[in-house]
Structures are given as C-alpha cells and as structure tokens.
Chains A and B, each alone.
Chain A
Amino acid sequence: MNWLSDEAIARLRSAGAEPDLAGTRYRLIERIASGGMGSVYLAEDAMLGRRVAIKILDVPDSSGDLAARLQREAHILASLEHPGIVPVHDAGTLADGRVFYAMKFVEGERLDRFSERASPLPSRLRIFQRICDTVAFAHTRGVLHRDLKPENIMTGPFGEVLVMDWGVARILRANRISTPAETVHDQACEGPGGFAAGSLRTAPKTAHGAVLGTPGYMAPEQARGDVEHLDERADIYSLGAMLQFLIAASFRSTQTTPRVLTAIARKAMDTDPAGRYASASELGHEIARYLDGLPVRAYPENALQKIARWVARYRLAIVLVLTYLVVRALLIFWFRR
C-alpha cells in the first residue's frame, strides 16, 4: 500500500478548503492572503469582467458568530465611502454556507515596502497626511481602526493611498453606522479588509485575544486591553508610531532626524491619551504646517529657531532681495567714482 506524502495531503486539504464559487458571478483565480477567520482570494467578476478580492470564511460557521463578524466588517467598510478606503462591491453566502464579501482588488505596494525604496521625505509625509485624512473620516463616522501600521497601508501606482484591514475595527458610536451590534467582539478577529496580492503574506500578525492590535503600533491603553475606554486617540497613537517609522525609514542611522517631526510623532505617541493630538485631522494639519515651513504645536521654538525656519522658508526670496540690494549698492558706488 502506498501512503500519501505530507505534501500531497496538504495539497488535498488546500483544494478541499477552496471555496466553491458556483452560483455566484465570480471565478476563483488564487488565494492571496489568509487571516484568523477567513481568507482573501483574487477572483474575476464574470458579469463586469474585472478582478476583485473576495474575503471568505475558511469554514462554514455553525454558531454564526464568525459569519456575523464578517458581515459586520463588510457593513463597516461599505459605510465608510472614502477614496482612502477600499470599496465593497458585493456580499452574500456561498452554496456551502460560507459568508463572503467582494471588494476592489488593490494593486499596489504596502507602505513598509514603499518605504524601503529611496523616496523624498515630503512625498512620504504627503502619504501620511492622506492616511490621517482617511482615519479622521472613519472617526467622524464613529469607527476606530485599532490596527494602523505600515503593513495595512497600500500605495497605488497613481498616488492612491488606501487604509486596509478594518477587520478589528470598533464602532465607537453605533448610531453612525447601521450595523446590527454595537461593537466588534474582541476575539480572533484577524484578517484583511482588502488586499493586494501577497500584501499580508509576510506582514507581522495582528495579536489575538482580548488585546487586539500590533505591538509597537498599539496605544498603551489598547495593549492593556482597556477596550471600553478606547477612543480615537488610540488610533492617533498608531499614526504617531507610523510617522516615526516613516521618519526612521527616510534617514540613515548616522543622519539626524528633523527635531520637529520627531516632536510631532512623540506628541502623537504620548502615553497619556490627553497629551496626544485630539484628532487625526489635527495631526494631519500639523504635518501640513511642517511641510509649509510653518510653526507646529508640538515643537515650541525659541527666537533663533523661528528666524532659521523663516529664512529656510523664504530662502530664495531673501537671496533675490539681497542680490537686488547688492547690485543697487554696487551701481551707486560705481557711478559716483
């Protein structure tokens, strides 16, 4: 008798786990990522002739909890209509009872990979501003992301910036979104809200259990599992950590990082939530002020620093006026001789 190899068994298991999309308008192409409760597949929408990403529960859910979670995630995503959030196209149940939702397939690069390439700091900061805008929008809708990190940000080839993976999102104010329950249960919720091929294959995994999030990007109160008292400022902390990551990725260890940016990141990451920026848009505005050469709240300047910033901002104008004065003076003295 011939025994099947482990590899063959794994292949059979994988084939068996593949969802049967018969009866839907989608044709399965490949699995692109997997999470705690579901996997994301690349599929073709036969009706519209486009590629989509489909998130499907790995197994039929007899209790209905996981199905409810996935539906809820789809509801959250669908309610957050914003250029920075992946749109949901469709949701439903497969013939085998597994719940799914289809979303835009995002082709691009994760922010952590994008940061590995040499790109100027201002362009990275502009991406960061876009992330702040998206998160601020979600906050106004009463949704907390809770897992913001470079691995969950996609940058597209045409300047798109998308905040992904809303799988552990929490609804702060239930009246803003018409989903059935008030909060997402803080258990075993790991997975993407939308993916590009391979986007999560090598990403650090989101922690399971009562404490959700990613170490290093998680606010202290979130790490303590203080779920009831979490608010927008937990995401502000994660944004600060992401800003710190972008700053570090822009400068070699021997180079000095801009103090103002470091101060902004430090304020966003204050251990006391009250010490952080009050909103994501406030943090975004602070970055805009830095890019425009204006003073920022996080870094009180002395007189010398104010002058240095002013000179840096109007450098060329100052050079032109000085050139004018020098030429004027030279002409006066030349023709008086």
Chain B
Amino acid sequence: MNKITYGLILGGILGIFDGFTSWFTPAVRPQLMGIVLGSTFKGLLAGVLIGIFARKVHSLGLGVLFGLGVGLLFAFFIAYMQRNYYVQIMVPGGLVGLIVGYATQKYGDSSTASASLT
C-alpha cells in the first residue's frame, strides 16, 4: 500500500471515530451525522496531504510536524465555523494529524511503481 492510500485510509478511519465522539457532547448530538461526515472528509483530505508529503519528504520529524500542522489547521477551520469548541476540536484534530504523519512516514510504500504493479 502506498503512503497516500495509507494516509487516506488512516485519516478517514480516525476522522469517522473523531466525529462519533461528538455524541458525548449533548449540545451537538442532533448534528451528529453532519459532524461525522465533516470530520471524515477532514480526515481524508488531511490524510491525502500528509501522504503526499510523506512520499516527497522522508523525515519522521518533519512528517510528524507536518501532520500536526495540517491536523490543527483543518480542525481550526471547523472550530472557527462553529465559533465554539476550539479545544475539543483542535486538540484531537492535531493528534489525528500527528498520528497520520507518523504512520505515513514509518509505513507504506513510497514508490508509485509498486502500487501500479501489484
């Protein structure tokens, strides 16, 4: 599996999980499905970007830093649109980016050829 696919899948899964945790906040429970969809899209997009970065730059430190930055940035946009829940959205969002950044650096095939040959 190449790094972009790896980032896409991991970002998507963690995004879904991240969205569903909003169930624990009763005030936003009515918008749960919208939050899950938004969070999943955010995770997928962040995953692809982080995966592309991992394919270009082979550095665990930079990968983790880039993941953290992308995760925080996307989470900030979501929180800004809500005008609320900055900490609740940004902290886990940043962590998701960090995990995807680490995973795409550490695992996944960096060559495009292997993906097309297999």
Contact = CB atoms under 8 A, between A and B. Distances in A.
Interface in B58-79: none
Contacts of A327: 91-92, 95
A252 interface: no
Contacts of B24: 332, 336
Given A324-B96, A327-B95, A317 B106 contact: yes
A317 B102 contact: yes
A332 B21 contact: yes
Given A317-B103, A320-B102, A332 B25 contact: yes
B99 A324 contact: yes
B8 interface: no
Contacts, number: 35
A335 B84 CA distance: 12
Contacts of A331: 87-88, 91-92
A317 B99 contact: yes
Contact of B102 (A316, A328, A336): A316
Interface in A280-337: 316-317, 320-321, 323-324, 327-328, 331-332, 335-336
Contacts of B18: 328
A138 to B, nearest CB: 29
B98 interface: yes
A335 to B, nearest CB: 6
B105 to A, nearest CB: 11
Contacts of A320: 95, 98-99, 102
A332 B24 CA distance: 6
A324 B92 CA distance: 7
Nearest to A324: B95
Contacts of A316: 102, 106
A196 B35 CA distance: 69
Nearest to A317: B103
Contacts of A323: 95
Interface string B86-118: 011001100110110011001000000000000
A335 B87 CA distance: 10
**Interface hub of A316, A320, A323, A335 (most chain B Cβ within 10 A):** A320
Interface in A108-122: none
A42 to B, nearest CB: 42
Contact of A321 (B21, B87, B99): B99
A336 B87 CA distance: 13
B33 to A, nearest CB: 19
A38 to B, nearest CB: 48
A336 B24 CA distance: 8
A335 B88 contact: yes
Contacts of A336: 24-25
A320 B92 CA distance: 12
A317 B20 CA distance: 22
B3 to A, nearest CB: 15
Interface of B: 14, 18, 21, 24-25, 87-88, 91-92, 95-96, 98-99, 102-103, 106
Across the A-B interface, the 5 shortest Cβ-Cβ residue pairs = A332-B24, A324-B95, A320-B99, A328-B92, A331-B88
24 contacts: A317-B99, A317-B102, A317-B103, A317-B106, A320-B95, A320-B98, A320-B102, A321-B99, A324-B14, A324-B95, A324-B96, A324-B99, A327-B92, A327-B95, A328-B18, A328-B92, A331-B87, A331-B91, A331-B92, A332-B21, A332-B24, A335-B25, A335-B87, A335-B88
